[in-house]
Structure 1
């Protein structure tokens, strides 16, 4: 399992993902789930993946090879005219990889399904954020749905719904995401540190560096402890339920 979130702010996009993968309680490891492609001043694309690791690595490898090897550049993720066309390309690639596994008769308990969060900007076009399904179809973030989650989504969703504001700063958004991830990590052992996050400033057409939050990161520890204390204080401040027998 995994947990990834993409937020669409008025000032840009922000992505965060965990790195834990597991095939049972005695087989836990870490893999990067965030990937980025860019041509400075022209295109910036970031993708996060959740699901079967073989499927997601195959999709990333295919897209990466097409972006680097001149003789295999058709179609290249870096040469699409719009983010919509990038989403179509990624969706088609994901669907083809899953179909190839199925056609080969391969089987696994979790299947070969995967989901993807894709975001970025191309040229003078707007910044866009998409959620891509295993079937290859996708939806786009809007004012009504300004963020996407994939993987283990339920534990970290309430704080996003209550506190997200498209006008918030990147610093505030990172704090919000860390609370969301902390809630998820505490509730599900299949999600864990370290975390990766990347910021994209709208209109910059410059890829932000992917930064890692280590297991002993002091800011994350402050957020985790502070959020826990704040929840206890909020709970204690609520009036008790009045039983009929006093």
Structure 2
């Protein structure tokens, strides 16, 4: 399993993914699930993946090779470097997912292996607005909005409450959003052994058309350790400060 979260904020995007993959408790590996296609000044596109590793890697390989758009079978090959809009980029990911399904799903089902794949896709192309999408295993997708300013894939339930309570499209800065994303990940790591370090963090400021921050956070990272410790202390202090119920 894995956990990836993307925040869609007025100032830009914050995207965070873990790197743990497992095929049972005795077969745990580390793979990056973060992919970036960038032409500074023209486009910056980041994608994060969750699901069956063989499936997601096949999807990424198809995207890298490029695909002829389904709606224009006589057209040019589309890659992340030449799609005209982020919507078309999401369509490209969806098409790649469907093609992998056509080629591999029957054989996977025969081996009792689930076809699972989901993706977060965020970025901006010059002259267009910044977008954040979630692409499902069927190849369809949704986009984040001001009313729903975050998307999650993978083991998302543990990291959702803090985002529901604290995140605001216009009121949360990139810096504050980064802290919230890290706390969301910390909650997930503490509650699920299939999610773990190192973490890949990407921060994009709207209209800059280049990645602002790309960093790998390891388990011994001093900032993350301090953030996690302070958050635990703050939660303990908060619940202890509440009055006890009369009926207790």
Task: Give the structure-2-normalised TM-score.
Answer: 0.92
Cα distance between partner residues in 2 of 1:108 and 1:229:
47
Instruction: Name the count of aligned residue pairs.
Output: 239
Deviation at 1:109? 4.8
Cα distance between partner residues in 2 of 1:15 and 1:205:
15
Deviation at 1:44? 1.0
1:98, 1:113 within 8 Å by CA — same for their partners in 2? no
How do 1:8-157 and structure 2 match up within 5 A? 8-66=8-66, 74-104=77-107, 107-157=110-160
- Indicate which of 162, 175, 200 corresponds to 2:204: 200
1:11-52 CA distances to partner (integer Å, 9 max, x unpaired)? 111100000100111111110011000112111111000000
Cα distance between partner residues in 2 of 1:6 and 1:153:
11
The unaligned stretches of length 5 or more in structure 2 are 68-75
1:6, 1:149 within 8 Å by CA — same for their partners in 2? yes
Deviation at 1:108? 4.9
Cα distance between partner residues in 2 of 1:6 and 1:45:
13
Higher mean displacement: 57-66 or 136-145 = 57-66
Cα distance between partner residues in 2 of 1:61 and 1:178:
29
Cα distance between partner residues in 1 of 2:191 and 2:106:
37
Deviation at 1:99? 2.1
SS of structure 2 residue aligned to 1:212:
strand
Deviation at 1:209? 4.5
Deviation at 1:113? 1.4
Deviation at 1:170? 2.0
Deviation at 1:169? 2.2
Question: Which residue of the partner structure matches residue 192 of structure 2?
Answer: 188
Question: Which residue of the partner structure matches residue 70 of structure 1?
Answer: none
Task: Give the structure-1-normalised TM-score.
Answer: 0.92
Cα distance between partner residues in 2 of 1:216 and 1:123:
38
Deviation at 1:10? 0.6
